[in-house]
Amino acid sequence: MKYLTVDFGSTYTKLTAINTEKAIIQGTASAFTTIDTDIMNGFNTALQKLEQSIGKFDYDQLLCCSSAGGGLKMVALGLVPELTAKAAKMAASSAGAKVIKTYSFEISKDEQDEIYDINPDLVLLCGGTDGGNKEVIIANAKRLANIKRDFSIIAAGNKCASDELEEIFKHSGKDYIITHNVMPVFNKLDIEPAKQSIKALFIKKIIEAKGLSTVQQMASIEIIPTPLAVMHGCELLSKGTKKTNGIGELLAIDLGGATTDVYSIASGKPSMENILEKGLPEPFSKRSVEGDLGMRYSLCSLAEELDMDTLEQKSGINKDNIQSWISRCSENPDTIAEAGSTEAQVEELLAKSAVEIAVERHCGIMESSYSPMGEIFTLSGKDLTEVPFVIGIGGAIINSANPSAILDGARFDIKRYNSMKPKQPKYMLDSKYIFAAMGLLSIAEPELALDLMKQEIKLI
């Protein structure tokens, strides 16, 4: 059996040729994604490069994922920030969506207008435990129904409001799904039904919007979001299969052109005694996506997060040169830095900064407070200080002459001691960018996918 996997990314379309009889990755190739013309142009260019390298490849099955055009653009609405709004964001992120913004309580007219301006692909509507408050989710449903945009709605809130929601949405002219509550009982999550609904709407909406309908006809399975494929790969490498052990807990960073995605496959429980966990329980497999941290399409917003004077002092590179490179890459996303050049050093500096910010946002925060019993510590989010492996994914890391320097952005920093980042991780590199490919392959051949990842994803 021969598989060809395709990842239609925001910047690159990446192909992986897999030969199951020889149990090898026969070759990989990539080309710029051609979403502005015909997405098949980039696919055909990458296939031509692949076959120039390995010869004619007559594949039996085509497996595809996509984040072209920035993936699935989404907003999430919940009742209160620390409960259902956060649960909504978890469900959306774990399904591969790019969450632009979350809203809490009953949204205002200004927030309604803001959603119109965002023009999302999907809206995830949550709010209230089953049998609890249903007035807020009904009010928000009415406001969403009146927004003159063609987005789909997934309602995953208080089941007691289902009849009212059905009545509101069936007259709205919008696609909608009413599914199980993401938080049916206080402080207990059930995000899987919402996650599956998001995946289903991705297939229905994005395939047409991003010009992937032709590819879907060629593919052996439904096209899934690239982050979901990467998540499958991360889980497989970490947990293994029934027959073969994985490598254990890990943190993976996919630094792309539009977003920086962080995946942690770890319990995240406090590593020290006498620490109180605060907020919703964290999932063992967690993804966060930072839509303002990317190496091309989101480079300007990344730059806004940075202090150019500090970067200049740390790197010795004039801040005007840094800003010039940012402007050039933002205007021409296909720009590539020449090896050994000042621009390559700037690229590495910006990549490390993106990793540093993204991992800090993903990890938990330790805080101290005082009680009648004295000082106590609380943990909000996941404690990843003991995670043994940090894995680099994405072009800016893979193509760097010094990927370890970029991945150092994920390491614990004593200056920000309350951020629970890994303290002594070993670095690994997905040098051929096969995580998404192996996540796709794991659907059909999990043992082979795990074996290939162990061969290809190595310590650096």
3-state per-residue secondary structure call for 14-81: EEEEEECCCCEEEEEEEEECCCCCCHHHHHHHHHHHHHHHHCCCCCCEEEEEECHHHCEEEEEEECCH
- Say how far apart CA 305 and CA 21 lie, in whole Å: 49
Q: For residue 400, which of 229, 237, 255 has the smallest C-alpha distance?
A: 255
**Both tokens assigned to 418:** 């309350």
More confidently predicted of 58 and 375: 58
Question: What is the model's pLDDT at position 362?
Answer: 94
Query: Strands of 426-429's sheet, edge to edge?
Result: 285-290, 260-265, 250-255, 389-393, 426-429, 458-459
- For residue 180, what pLDDT band results from cuts at 50, 70 and 90? very high
More confidently predicted of 370 and 404: 404
- Say how far apart CA 395 and CA 255 lie, in whole Å: 7
Q: What phi and psi, each to the nearest 5 degrees, are found at residue 27?
A: 175, 165
Hey, what domains does the chain have and what are their CATH numbers? Answer: 2-68+210-239+434-459 (3.30.420.40), 72-205 (3.40.50.360), 250-429 (no CATH)
Which of 193-197, 343-347, 439-443 has the highest average model confidence (pLDDT)? 439-443
Looking at the predicted structure, is the pLDDT value of residue 210 above 70?
no
Question: What is the model's pLDDT at position 206?
Answer: 66
For the beta carbon of residue 370, count every other beta carbon within 10 angstroms.
8
236-293 pLDDT, tens digit each: 999 999 999 999 999 999 998 878 999 999 999 999 888 888 877 888 999 888 878 8
The owner of tokens 């959603």 is 115
Looking at the predicted structure, is the pLDDT value of residue 35 above 80?
no
134-172 pLDDT, tens digit each: 999 999 999 999 999 989 999 999 999 999 999 999 989
Q: What is the β-pairing status of strands 260-265 and 285-290?
A: antiparallel
Question: What is the model's pLDDT at position 69?
Answer: 61
Residues 388-404, mean pLDDT to the nearest whole number: 92
Question: What is the model's pLDDT at position 419?
Answer: 95
Question: What is the model's pLDDT at position 96?
Answer: 63
- For residue 363, what pLDDT band results from cuts at 50, 70 and 90? very high
Question: What is the model's pLDDT at position 71?
Answer: 59
How confident is the prediction for the chain on average, in pLDDT? 89
Question: What is the model's pLDDT at position 53?
Answer: 94
41-79 pLDDT, tens digit each: 999 999 999 999 999 999 999 999 987 666 578 899 988
87-125 pLDDT, tens digit each: 777 777 766 677 888 899 999 999 999 999 999 989 999
Looking at the predicted structure, is the pLDDT value of residue 422 above 90?
yes
Question: What is the model's pLDDT at position 209?
Answer: 60
Question: What is the model's pLDDT at position 252?
Answer: 97
Q: What is the β-pairing status of strands 2-8 and 12-19?
A: antiparallel
Under 8 Å between Cβ of 230 and 393: yes
Question: What is the model's pLDDT at position 354?
Answer: 95
Looking at the predicted structure, is the pLDDT value of residue 315 above 70?
yes
